[in-house]
Amino acid sequence: MTTAGGGWTFVASVHENDINGKCTTGDMWFSNDKPEYTMSRNWENRNTFGSVDQATSADYKNIGYSSMKASNVMLRHVPNKTPMPRTTVEASLQYHTSNNFLESHGGNLFSTYTQHYPMNPKTSVAYPPVSDLVNAIAALAPNITAEIPDFYNYDYGLRSNRLNGGNGTFSRYGMQIYFQFKYGRSIDYGQEHKFDDTNTVITSRKSHPFILVAAIGNPKFYGSGYYRIQSQRARGDPIMSYSGKITDGNFELQYRSRCVYGRTVPSVCDVVFAVNNTKIEGR
């Protein structure tokens, strides 16, 4: 081939054998019918399969995929079962890179995936970046408490998963937070927790006020989750709840607050908000 200077070599084809099933048995590049969506990893090994004359009817990979050195990649979209000599004229789309990116990634897709971008999701989970956000909010904590008259700097106590409070804020059992989204656990104050299957990170800071952020990736679109705040207070303290939402462009912030106003002990107000992008379906 002489397109864009020539020197193109055909090394692989990716063929969908069941458009309704998507990644089922027979797909050599990726198969979802294995336990826990195990990656077949043919992107990352030297296996070869298929035949060049049937490359538009089934998945195909030759030794050039892992052994040849190249600078760029070309992709071509053709109808199923197109004869190989006809792929140039029958292609609905054809495009290629031109920045020589393979030269800095080992020279081929094999080295690109094995050394730079592993394809196995069980060994590489990209969690949402949460720590920087929590640190930024915690840095503003003095500004927040300055707006609250007579703010009480409660005592966290010695137990990692219960806030003591002190001065009668809670009973001796303290305040515990439980988070559930497919999997659940009690939150350790000031620690970070990760849940691989839902791509969720929960991070908190033992600041005043206490700050906790949960970032939920949810790549498998699980249906629902919840949080629970458990504590004991003196009976008879009045309780007020507040809720609402704020919209800014594509982003919507929903907030909810429950305040217990102490008669003889410090008041407690739990403020919870959720932010989502209204333009992303299912999130």
pLDDT, tens digit, 9 for 90 and up, residues 32-50? 544 444 444 788 888 899 9
Domain that holds residue 164: 131-277
Whether residues 29 and 77 share a domain: the answer is yes
Statement: residue 86 has pLDDT above 70: yes
pLDDT, tens digit, 9 for 90 and up, residues 46-57? 889 999 999 999
Query: Of 47, 82, 116, which residue is a domain's last?
Result: 116
pLDDT recorded at residue 26: 66
Tell me the C-alpha distance between 118 and 262, whole Å: 54
In the beta sheet, which residues pair with residue 96? 74
Whether residues 91 and 185 share a domain: the answer is no
Whether residues 111 and 153 share a domain: the answer is no
pLDDT recorded at residue 38: 45
pLDDT recorded at residue 177: 92
Evaluate the CA torsion angle 194, 200, 205, 210 in order and state its sign: negative
Q: What is the pTM of this model?
A: 0.52
For a pLDDT cut of 70, what percent of the chain falls above it?
A: 87
Question: Which residue do the tokens 């030269």 mark?
Answer: 103
212-232 average pLDDT score? 84
Whether residues 226 and 148 share a domain: the answer is yes
pLDDT, tens digit, 9 for 90 and up, residues 158-178? 889 889 888 888 887 889 999
Is residue 231 in a domain? yes
Q: How many domains does the chain have?
A: 2
Tell me the C-alpha distance between 108 and 63, whole Å: 11
Whether residues 156 and 180 share a domain: the answer is yes
Tell me the C-alpha distance between 51 and 63, whole Å: 12
Whether residues 159 and 258 share a domain: the answer is yes
pLDDT, tens digit, 9 for 90 and up, residues 191-219? 998 888 788 889 999 999 999 998 888 87
Q: Tokens representing 141? A: 């904590």
pLDDT recorded at residue 37: 41
Please provide the average confidence, as pLDDT, over all residues in the chain.
Answer: 85
180-200 average pLDDT score? 87
Whether residues 152 and 242 share a domain: the answer is yes
What is the β-pairing status of strands 226-230 and 60-61? unpaired
Residue from 267, 283, 263, 266 nearest 275 by CA = 283
Contact yes or no for 186/177 (Cβ under 8 A):
yes
Name the more confident of 34 and 278.
278
Name the more confident of 109 and 184.
109
